[in-house]
Amino acid sequence: MSFAVTGCQQNQRIQTDRDVLRVGVVTYTQDDPFINALTDKLKEDLKAMSTKDVKVIASVKNGDNDQKNQDETIEEMIDAGCDVLCVNLVDRTAPAKIIRLARQDDIPIVFFNREPVKEDLMQWEYLYYVGCKAEQSGVMQGETAAEYIKNHPEVDKNQDGKIQYVLLEGEAGHQDTISRTDYSVRTVLEAGISLEKLSYQFADWNRGQAENRMNRLISQYGEGIELILSNNDEMALGAVEAYRKAGYEPSQRPVIFGIDGLDDALEAIEAGEMQGTVYNDKEDQALQIAKLAFEVFKGEQQVRKELKEGRYYVSQYQQVDSSNVEEFLDR
Ligand code: BGC
Ligand code: CA
């Protein structure tokens, strides 16, 4: 109540029912395995945050991959009385309407995974972002791939001194697509490995789309593809699937590297069908989102004083290959 008593700010949040924290979580789609795994953790963490004084209720919806649709969903959640929003934008360049609506009702927003541009995030002090530094995942993927190639000369199947590669890209315009592609290739080259680019294919983070793209490339190049760098695990697993269905034994396939560290990918690494990934720490991100939501509601400053520029929580990626995959499977 200190805000009201000191009168330093008209703050609607403190006039609502303080015994219940209603958190509205809105993802960009319901079809993204990484986002779903993160959201499941977030729901658990929010629930576990309930104390004897404050009950936390989370409601999860999705924007059906349409920004207009997501804007409307958020408007409904605000009308239904939510206190804090956690938003995984459909279009990371278009949060203006959501920010305006939330601000009118004094509802803080924790954006996650799809990063708004800085000018948008800096518009208001109750806007936050929880995610990673995309560049780090690209560098780590490149390092893991380079090390593997150096230790396994047989990756260069035709022994021409160059590694023929394919890049599977996520959604165009996503911060992770742009930086992962750029830094992964750059890092392999900087490690002294010669690369020959065969094809870059957008597959929207999606396993099925990547499988289709790879089917075409397999009929075009056969065993000529030696390395696949994928912007995420789902697309890497689509590539594994395409080779499996085309009847290639693991020894005839290219080496395949992903990002995320989802269970299916960790199992593929154990089985030798993928050679590495980069762990995108969904447990850490979910916990930080939950803590931040609770803390802004309570008006506390523990988590917030640690944020970069008062706004950003940057989760750390970790390299995964067959030498440490066990550790991640046990999580
Ligand atoms: C993940 C992808 C996911 C995307 C969704 C990325 O950080 O690596 O798996 O599809 O976020 O925005
Ligand atoms: Ca070669």
> Superfamily assignment of 2-124+282-315 in CATH?
Response regulator (3.40.50.2300)
pLDDT on residue 330? 82
Q: How many angstroms separate the alpha carbon of residue 268 from the centre of ligand 2?
A: 24
pLDDT on residue 9? 42
pLDDT on residue 16? 53
Mean pLDDT in residue range 44-60: 96
Mean pLDDT in residue range 74-93: 97
Judge if 2-124+282-315 and 135-279 fold alike in CATH terms. yes
Mean pLDDT in residue range 280-303: 96
Residue 168 has φ and ψ, to the nearest 5°, of -100, 120
* Residues 321-330: tens digit of each pLDDT: 999 999 999 8
Taking alpha carbons only, the member of 23, 241, 330, 280 closest to residue 136 is 280
Where exactly are the structural domains of the chain? Answer: 2-124+282-315, 135-279
Q: How many angstroms separate the alpha carbon of residue 227 from the centre of ligand 2?
A: 9
pLDDT on residue 18? 81
Instruction: Share the mean pLDDT of the chain.
Output: 94
Query: What percent of the chain clears pLDDT 90, i.e. is strictly above it?
Result: 93
Counting ligands in written order, the one closest to the CA of 161 is 2
CA distances to 137, 209, 264, 272 from 250, in Å:
25, 21, 17, 7
* Residues 196-206: tens digit of each pLDDT: 999 999 999 99
Q: How many CB atoms lie within 10 A of CB 247?
A: 7
pLDDT on residue 5? 36
Ligand 1 contact, 205 CB (< 6 A): yes
Residue 245 has φ and ψ, to the nearest 5°, of -65, -30
Give dist(CA 122, CA 252) in Å, integer. 51
Q: How many angstroms separate the alpha carbon of residue 104 from the centre of ligand 1?
A: 30
pLDDT on residue 7? 34
pLDDT on residue 6? 34
Q: How many angstroms separate the alpha carbon of residue 214 from the centre of ligand 2?
A: 18
Ligand 1 contact, 320 CB (< 6 A): no
pLDDT of residue 1 exceeding 50? no
Ligand 1 contact, 204 CB (< 6 A): no
Taking 3-state DSSP, the helix, strand and coil percentages for the chain, each rounded to the nearest 5, stand at 45, 20, 35
pLDDT of residue 10 exceeding 60? no
* 17 pLDDT tier (thresholds 50, 70, 90): low
Q: Where are the alpha helices (DSSP H) in 113-153?
A: 118-121, 134-151
pLDDT on residue 172? 95
Angle between the 282-298 and 33-49 helix axes, to the nearest 10 degrees? Answer: 40
* Residues 235-278: tens digit of each pLDDT: 999 999 999 999 999 899 999 999 999 999 999 999 999 999 99
**What pTM was computed for the model?**
0.94
| Best residue for ligand 1 mutational test, from 32, 129, 140 (most atoms within 8 Å of Cβ) | 32
For 216, residues 6+ apart whose C-beta sits below 8 A from its C-beta are none
Q: Where are the alpha helices (DSSP H) in 66-133?
A: 67-79, 96-104, 118-121
Mean pLDDT in residue range 74-95: 97
Mean pLDDT in residue range 70-76: 98
Counting ligands in written order, the one closest to the CA of 149 is 2
Counting ligands in written order, the one closest to the CA of 92 is 1
pLDDT on residue 230? 99
* Residues 297-307: tens digit of each pLDDT: 999 999 999 99
**CATH code for the domain defined by 135-279:** 3.40.50.2300
**Most distant CA pair in the chain, distance:** 76
Which atom, in ligand 1's list, is nearest to the CA of 134? 7
Query: What percent of the chain clears pLDDT 70, i.e. is strictly above it?
Result: 95
| Best residue for ligand 1 mutational test, from 87, 92, 113, 178 (most atoms within 8 Å of Cβ) | 113
Q: How many angstroms separate the alpha carbon of residue 174 from the centre of ligand 2?
A: 31
Angle between the 233-245 and 33-49 helix axes, to the nearest 10 degrees? Answer: 140
* Residues 157-191: tens digit of each pLDDT: 999 999 999 999 999 999 999 999 999 999 999 99
pLDDT on residue 195? 98
- Closest CA to ligand 1's atom 11: 113
Which atom, in ligand 1's list, is nearest to the CA of 231? 8
